[in-house]
Amino acid sequence: MRVLALILILASSASASASPSSSRLNEPSWRKRFEAITTTALKGEAEVVFLGDSITRGWKDTLAWKKYFARYHSLNAGISSDRAENLLWRIQNGNLGNLKPRVAILLIGANNLSISTPKEVSATINAIINTIHTHSPATNILLLGVLPIGKEQTDPRRKKIIAVNQQLELLGSLPRVYYRDFGEYFLEKDGTISKEVMYNDYIHLTELGYETWAKPLAKLIEDKLYKSP
């Protein structure tokens, strides 16, 4: 059953290409950030690249980023409010530059929850994976499950996240793709989220939230992905 589901996902995204409408170039701040990422990517220096939305972007000013990821000349390629299709457009239009990273950390989909089905999110993310591997076949991709949202376990977005992550887990069967869900690190025993790890919107992470996440993430990168041939 899992194999059939994966085949259907692959078929739906085999020829996927981001439409021009997936660009946000009409937004000055987005264009500036897109161009800055492309400029850095053209240097081709990053050994680890982080791809995503504001959750990824949020790493940039943390002590955890400097402590755990600076050693890899990591590139933060997150842009706030991006959906999966926006990220697909970016990497098809310059954000991979001359990069041949050993590891790509991919976290995207939270901003799709209200407008896309889980299968649509998965199909777009599979197209992102294909684009990365067409550009750099030897890159190991760490595909992350969408992190929990909402203070209470009963928040309706939680069920949607579970459904999306079930689809993403199937993509972990692809060559050089590794799926991992770090959601448990942000949940209390009763399923709630503490303000110590997320801000009052219960979406974006605090400094402690990033530190909590960084330790197991860095260990996974170092032990299983960075040194992998």
- CB-based contacts of 48: which residues, under 8 Å, 6+ apart? 69, 72, 73, 74, 75, 101, 102, 103, 104, 105, 221, 226
204 is a catalytic site residue: yes
61 is a catalytic site residue: no
Q: Find, among 70, 79, 80, the residue nearest to 46 by Cα.
A: 70
Q: Do β-strands 103-107 and 140-144 pair in parallel, antiparallel, or remain unpaired?
A: parallel
54 is a catalytic site residue: yes
Q: Find, among 129, 141, 133, the residue nearest to 220 by Cα.
A: 141
- Please state whether 97 falls in left (phi above 0), alpha (psi between -120 and 50) or beta: left
Q: Which of 80, 133, 135, 204 is catalytic?
A: 204
Greatest CA span in the chain, whole angstroms?
A: 46
Number of H helices, E strands in the chain: 8, 5
Q: Which of 21, 114, 190, 201 is catalytic?
A: 201
Q: Which of 54, 80, 81, 194 is catalytic?
A: 54
Catalytic positions: 54, 201, 204
